Chains A and B, each alone.
Chain A
Amino acid sequence: MTAPEREHAIEARELTRRFGTFTAVDHITFDVAAGEVFGFLGANGAGKTTAIRILTGLLAPSAGSARVAGHDVYTESEWIKRRIGYMSQKFSLYEDLTVGENIRLYGGIYDLSREVVRERTTRMLARLDLDASTRVHALPLGWRQKLAFLVALLHEPSIVFLDEPTSGVDPITRRQFWELIYEAAARGTTVFVTTHYMDEAEYCDRISIMVAGRIEALGTPADLRSQFDVASIDELFVRLARPTTGAAG
């Protein structure tokens, strides 16, 4: 008997999305293993947002296939939405509500029982050392983002999508945020994250770099550094995303 293969959190095969004549996502193929921290990098306009909208069940692909948390993106997008967590830099929590009210609201959206919400709230607030009665408006950005991340994990999704979660956050809080990511991954949650901070790309187990709709690099940061013979992921990113350097200036 062979051991069962480790389940993939995401399986994308030749995934494609066109808008009219424009191909935003162009035959991308990749897997993300359960419990992996996967960095999804690319320049503005490379197709990341479109790919994330497909993988979170918000947009149907034009061609190819993808399974997220075991569910098909064409026919089971409603199941995907229940099984994933999502947070973005732009909007994550209701500022006029308190910390506790935000958590209860999300608990309600995901149909969690009062006891479950209460228990997880206690654990979450203890981890962040936060008070339930604090208004989110009064929290500095970094704390708000840490809270938003744990709220996105409230219903214990198997995979969580983080879209530029640390933009503008101070350097210490940014690192505290990554420790929360590591903790979640250590518990088996798959983390799919985008960032413009290239040092954070190095924190991921594996990364992909999208250029003009295609995945041009995929692997562990260390493997990619040696494969492309570069000193850092920053250098690789610039080389892939701006191949004309030196020619056009």
Chain B
Amino acid sequence: MNAVTVEGLTKRFESVVALDAISLEIAPGELFGFIGPDGAGKTTLFRILVTLIVPDAGRATVLGRDVVADLWELRRRVGYMPGRFSLYPDLSVEENLRFFASVFGATVEKQYDLIAPIYEQLAPFKDRRAGALSGGMKQKLALCCALVHRPEILFLDEPTTGVDAVSRREFWELLDRLEHTGLTIVVSTPYMDEADRCGRVALIQRGRLLGIDTPDRIAASFGRPLFTVRGVERYQLLLAARGYANAATVFPFGDVLHYTDRRDGVAPAQIARELRDYFATSGFPDVTVEETRPTIEDTFMARMGEPERAA
């Protein structure tokens, strides 16, 4: 039995199609990521899966139960951490945790083994008001509260958005530990570099799935030779690369540019050599061009097409 089965799921808000006939399956014990920008439909999908809103068409089951018909049973069995901080800011860390435990008829003591690795980091602040915690600590408390009734599947909606790179890394280390307990974890993020932390990912954009696979296979599916272009005066270099007759795409990428060629069937070494020659004759003598392995972000950009304009 799948942990999650989604078939033709569709949801509209007035004229906006938030989810457009999405289908997918998630196996028990997976750490599964939805990767996509704001407005892709991640939050709508999560809200349907945790029984908070109903779809307009299609169906979804979680733990084998229908998200519309079996909502009362499902609510006891799923854990959900919403994207917006949803704890009581005026209650202390400990009071929040006890409150969420009692809502589900659980006690913090009975469930402590599950939350211990996370709660230990919060313990020094247990009397602090939740509203006065740092961003990273708030996320950890929210995770504890989502776990305290020992759910069989955990939904985390953008737990790392707006959190600094270090706290993000710590949060993923916690998820990694939780995955080893056998818990099914479904997480969403706008940060492409976090995809590698997941067993499988779905790329999502404008309510549609652009692909579902392991991070490695998604990156490899890019399917064209990709080159890094390295040099000083990057902006001038970017403009020059865009002006090259054979350029298909040129994007800034960290400290380099990523380049694809519009020609098919030309050897990568030849593309690189010709591109170097082009730069040399355009006033950029010290440019390095090398073939490189595509990342998830390259694949995402190749598949997303033109960015959306006015709705």
Chain A residues with CB under 8 Å of chain B are 42-46, 89, 129-131, 134, 138-143, 164, 167-173, 175-176, 178-179, 182, 185-186, 196-199, 202-203, 221-222, 232, 234, 237-238, 241-242
Contacts and interface: CB of A to CB of B under 8 A. Distances in A.
B136 interface: yes
Given A43-B166, A167-B162, A196-B164, A222 B134 contact: no
B161 interface: yes
Contacts of B190: 167-169
Interface in B175-212: 190-193, 205
Chain A CB within 10 Å, residue with most, of B165, B234, B235, B251: B165
B159 to A, nearest CB: 14
Contacts of A129: 309
B311 A173 contact: no
11 contacts: A43-B165, A44-B134, A140-B307, A169-B190, A171-B37, A175-B252, A199-B193, A202-B255, A203-B234, A221-B255, A242-B170
Nearest to A198: B165
Interface residues of B, number: 40
A236 B13 CA distance: 43
Interface string B267-311: 000000000000000000000000000000100110010011111
Interface in B202-253: 205, 234-235, 238, 251-253
Contacts of A164: 162
Between A170, A202, A234, the greatest number of chain B beta carbons within 10 A of the residue's beta carbon is seen for A170
B38 interface: yes
Nearest to B298: A171
Interface in B4-40: 36-40
Contacts of A171: 37, 192, 297, 300-301, 304
A44 B164 contact: yes
A142 B164 contact: no
Contacts of A242: 166, 169-170
A131 B307 contact: no
A234 B253 contact: no
Nearest to A235: B165
Contacts of A170: 36-38, 40, 205, 304, 307
Closest 6 CB pairs of A and B: A170-B37, A168-B38, A182-B235, A202-B255, A44-B135, A43-B164
A43 B167 contact: yes
Contacts of B307: 140, 142-143, 170, 172-173, 176
B254 A241 contact: no
Contacts of A186: 235
Contacts of A131: 310
A140 B308 contact: yes
B285 to A, nearest CB: 18
Contacts of B166: 43, 237-238, 241-242
Contacts of A130: 310
Nearest to B297: A171
Residue of A134, A178, A199, A241 contacting most chain B CB atoms (<10 Å): A199
A249 to B, nearest CB: 9
B57 interface: no
Contacts of B309: 129, 140, 143
B163 interface: yes
Contacts, number: 112
A75 to B, nearest CB: 33
Nearest to A135: B310
A171 B135 CA distance: 24
- Most B Cβ at <10 Å: residue of A89, A164, A242: A242
B311 A139 contact: yes
A156 B294 CA distance: 39
Given A170-B36, A170-B304, 17 more contacts: A129-B309, A134-B310, A138-B310, A138-B311, A140-B308, A140-B309, A142-B37, A167-B162, A168-B38, A169-B190, A170-B40, A179-B252, A196-B163, A202-B254, A203-B234, A241-B164, A242-B169
Contacts of A196: 162-165, 168
B37 A222 contact: no
A189 B61 CA distance: 53
A186 B151 CA distance: 54
A187 B166 CA distance: 34
B72 to A, nearest CB: 33
A45 B134 contact: yes
B204 to A, nearest CB: 11
A178 B238 CA distance: 12
Nearest to A232: B254
A134 to B, nearest CB: 5
Nearest to B305: A172
B311 A140 contact: yes
A179 B307 CA distance: 15
A196 B160 CA distance: 10
Nearest to B134: A45
Contacts of A232: 254-255
Contact of A167 (B161, B170, B300): B161
